[in-house]
Chain A
Amino acid sequence: MEPFRRLRSRTVVLPATDIDTDQIIPARYLTTTGREGLGRHLFAGWRYAGDGTPLADFPLNRPQAAGCAILVAGRNFGCGSSREHAAWALYDYGIRVVISSEIADIFRSNALKNGLLPILVDEPLHAWLLAHPGADLEIDLEGNRLLLPDGQAVTFAIEPFARYCLLQGVDELGHLLAQLPRIEAFERETAR
């Protein structure tokens, strides 16, 4: 996993609420046994016409969205299935941060394991971000803060262990493997 410390980017905005994992990546693209290249299927149902041509008015397809690494989405982003393909597709496409006022549990957990930072913001800031696509933001994970275009800093909460892993660019498996002696002891004590 690539370490995540600071990132500066303009935002791309998808204002719809309850964007589910079937929209992020439809099930027909889940028959893969790998995890690469899923970015081209990101939001496939919304991004392309039936014949595969990109729809010009979909926010990700607009010229201003090129290179944007921050996605601002409506409330309850990532609800639905546990498919990690949703996080893989966003990351592969180039998204590194998802901001919303609510983010579904499993998606959030999956995102954090793949170098994709989910950030929860309060309703007023969320409303402002939704209304200002293309806003130039700086995300400072070391300081747990988000810098708005006017220089104002807003702190955000993040689970400390996930933050540590992101900053170091290490995955959680190493930590779990280090617990193996305790896991073995637990199995002996509980006759598992």
Chain B
Amino acid sequence: MSPRTMFDKIWQAHQVVPETVDTPAVLYVDLHLVHEVTSPQAFALLGARGLRVRRPDRTLATLDHSTPTDADELFGRVPMRDAAAAGQIAALQRNAAAAGIELLDIGDRRRGIVHVIGPELGATQPGSVIVCGDSHTSTHGACGALAFGIGTTEVGHVLATQCLLQRKPRTLAVNVAGKLGAGVTAKDLVLAIIGRLGVAGGTGQVIEYRGAAVRALTMDERMTVCNMSIEAGARAGMIAPDATTFEYLRGRPRAPAGADWERAVAAWSELPTDAGATFDREMSLDAAGIEPMISFGTNPAMVCPVGGSVPGRDDPSYRKALVYMGFAPGERLAGKPVDVVFIGSCTNSRLSDLRAAAALLRGRRVAAGIRLLVVPGSETVRRAAEAEGLAAVFTAAGGEWREPGCSMCLGMNGDLAAPGQYVVSTSNRNFEGRQGAGVRTLLASPATAAAAAIAGCIADPREFATREE
């Protein structure tokens, strides 16, 4: 057999019916993740057609997007501020119960953001096809899966048949040579990649991240990178499974165990792209040249080093973005005052992200007038962070420590900033109004976010020596 990419291997292994000129392929879905915002209309579609959820055992639901992160609201001690959001939560509770789908409900010790809980539970496995009605499903590709976001109609298709109609996307290799510098993180790497590719650079493609710098990343870091693939327009991002992947998955609740584990590892070891396989496109960069990054515009490709200045460009949409952000071409970013710092989202809310932020905040306080919001990605992350004292570091610094959820990543649950405010955010989208009408989002790593909280302005995290306990 001729050499194949990892994408090709997974695609071929899931083709129930290959594509023809007239019809797309029927692609089998191993794991379907469901949340409250993009599923109610899909369940309604099934109901209207008199169809059942075909494989509830391959479906896992959680509450995250419009779910409150305020403990009193979450646990019903006060009514939810948003009655419509409460209705959406109730709808998923009803739909999951009726279909026999496992729901990580409010109060469940495993509940969390859909893209955090999948890998955490070991439900996300190499070689599988994973879909969810959410564009950041690309996160799961960090484990060597083909994972992509789908619309609500397609959520209905998967519920009804466990399959999707898909045309085969093209492949893009992003080769990252070298080694990230001290104080430079996976978030900086992916922001730099998106800056290079542009927000539509990956359209119609699946990215495989490769090279020494990628191999050196931890699983949490790989998830941060794959998570933002969609920000370059790509359907999916993936990283070949290796010893790091297997170590991460071993012993997780849904990972194979015993003899099954050995068999699974042997199969997963066959997944990486064969030597000599070709991609439709390749892009290369060196990790050594990357610095801590921050976004300055209204799309995630508008990024520059925290020590840099806002580039100028003669383009009306670009100029409009700068007007929205209140930045002028040539303006230095470091020292720009900010109002809110948000540490959370499926990009950067795992334990290692919280550790990175706490390393800077330990023994320090947030600058006067700054609101710091820290939202763990899951209940599991919350408990671990509390047990090792990270939550105490955030609250001692003057920050708010919340219940898990999407929170200010998209501001559906009432966690919003005020018009005109600057928010340094570890999330993935800086679109106009994403964190509230008129709010200006600056995307950055947890370390850069923590530095901004301490300094009260955009700052280089490398200037803040990590304090030991």
Contacts and interface: CB of A to CB of B under 8 A. Distances in A.
Interface residues of A, number: 54
B180 interface: no
B30 interface: yes
B30 A27 contact: no
B412 interface: yes
A30 B160 contact: no
Nearest to A50: B437
Given A82-B149, A106-B150, A186-B28, A176 B163 contact: yes
A183 B164 CA distance: 11
Given A81-B134, A82-B38, A160-B21, A172 B157 contact: yes
A144 to B, nearest CB: 14
B160 A20 contact: no
Given A81-B134, A164-B22, A105 B66 contact: no
Given A82-B38, A84-B38, A183 B88 contact: no
Given A33-B88, A79-B233, A104-B233, A161 B432 contact: no
Interface stretch (A54-62, A108-116, A148-156): A108-116
Contacts, number: 178
Given A15-B316, A31-B84, A182-B16, A76 B200 contact: yes
Contact of B30 (A23, A33, A109, A192): A192
A83 B230 CA distance: 13
B86 to A, nearest CB: 9
B17 A182 contact: yes
Contacts of A109: 150-151, 154
B153 A183 contact: no
A35 B299 contact: no
A36 to B, nearest CB: 10
Contact of B87 (A31, A45, A105, A160): A31
B411 A27 contact: yes
Nearest to A109: B151
A173 B49 contact: yes
A118 B140 CA distance: 29
Contact of A27 (B13, B22, B45, B410): B410
Contacts of B30: 192
Interface in B224-252: 230, 233, 235
B84 to A, nearest CB: 4
Given A32-B84, A84-B151, A109-B151, A173 B200 contact: no
A65 B222 CA distance: 46
A84 B85 contact: no
B45 to A, nearest CB: 8
5 contacts: A30-B412, A81-B135, A109-B150, A161-B24, A176-B26
Interface of A: 15-18, 20, 22-23, 26-28, 30-35, 45, 50, 74-76, 79-84, 87, 102, 104-106, 109-110, 113-114, 159-161, 164, 171-173, 175-177, 179-180, 182-183, 186-187, 190, 192
Interface of B: 13, 16-17, 21-24, 26, 28, 30, 37-38, 40-41, 44-45, 49, 51, 58, 65-66, 82, 84-85, 87-88, 91, 133-135, 149-154, 156-157, 160-165, 167, 169, 199-200, 203-204, 230, 233, 235, 299, 315-317, 320, 410-412, 419, 429, 431-434, 437
